[in-house]
Amino acid sequence: MQDLNTSSFIVLGLVAQLGEATSYDLKTCADNSVGFFWNFSRASLYKEPARLVDFGLLNERQETDGRRRRLYTLTPDGQKALSTWLDTRTDGESEIRDIGLLKLFFAANGSQEALDTLITDQIAAHTRQLETYRTIEVELAGKPDCRFDAAALHMGLLYEQMSIEFWSDLARKQLKVAL
């Protein structure tokens, strides 16, 4: 029954934090938190909870009137699965899925203009994202039980700052496609 993958634990974790939640709640919450560095589609947040109910890790309660929404809560087994996952040791394999970096990697096959544009756009995009994170950070600052959200968010902030420095540095060096 180890059909639990990372998405499963994200859902378990989100439900744990929200207490009782619909798929819609999960999506909204994710979009403003964990989704910043680990994105997934809305549809997954409808499909995955159903699976977890099958596994006995979530309870489902459907409203009898109105939108007849499905409300999920953690079962004891779900709580246990989540903490077991947290107890499991993790190596550091991480991926940075960034189209801009990929294009830089292959930039020798394109034009100088494309490279210059890429650099400019990346600086702009990361600057914009940094602003978004700063806004969220201020909002979080007031809430004492959001330390872990805040810590992870802080990582996002650092990443954006680093990216801006990285691309700005390339701009300064005026990297050339051909020598």
Partner DNA sequence: GGTGCCATGTAACGAGTTACATGATTTG
Partner DNA sequence: CAAATCATGTAACTCGTTACATGGCACC
Distant-in-sequence, close-in-space partners of 54: CB < 8 Å, separation ≥ 6: none
Min dist CB 149 to a copy of itself, Å, is 7
Structure tokens at 58: 């979530």
Nearer to DNA, 50 or 114 (CB): 50
What residue 174 binds from DNA, a copy of itself, none (CB within 5 to 8 A, per partner kind)?
Answer: none
The piece of 20-28, 41-49, 52-60, 156-164 that touches a copy of itself (CB under 8 A) is: 156-164
What residue 132 binds from DNA, a copy of itself, none (CB within 5 to 8 A, per partner kind)?
Answer: none
Rounding to the nearest 10 degrees, give the CA dihedral for residues 109, 112, 117, 122.
60
Residue from 43, 50, 141, 155 that binds a copy of itself (CB under 8 A)? Answer: 155
Give CA separation, 87 vs 6, 17, 26, 90, 100, in Å: 14, 18, 24, 9, 35
Nearer to a copy of itself, 124 or 141 (CB): 124
Give CA separation, 28 vs 22, 78, 96, 153, 163, in Å: 10, 21, 24, 16, 27
Residue from 24, 37, 46, 55 that binds a copy of itself (CB under 8 A)? Answer: 37
Q: Which DSSP helix (H) or strand (E) runs through 59?
A: strand 58-62
Structure tokens at 61: 């309660």
- Which residues form the interface with a copy of itself (CB under 8 A)? 6, 9-10, 13, 16-17, 33-34, 37-39, 79, 82-83, 85-87, 89-111, 113-114, 117-118, 121-122, 124-126, 128-129, 144-145, 147-149, 151-152, 154-156, 158-159, 162-163, 165-166, 170, 175, 179
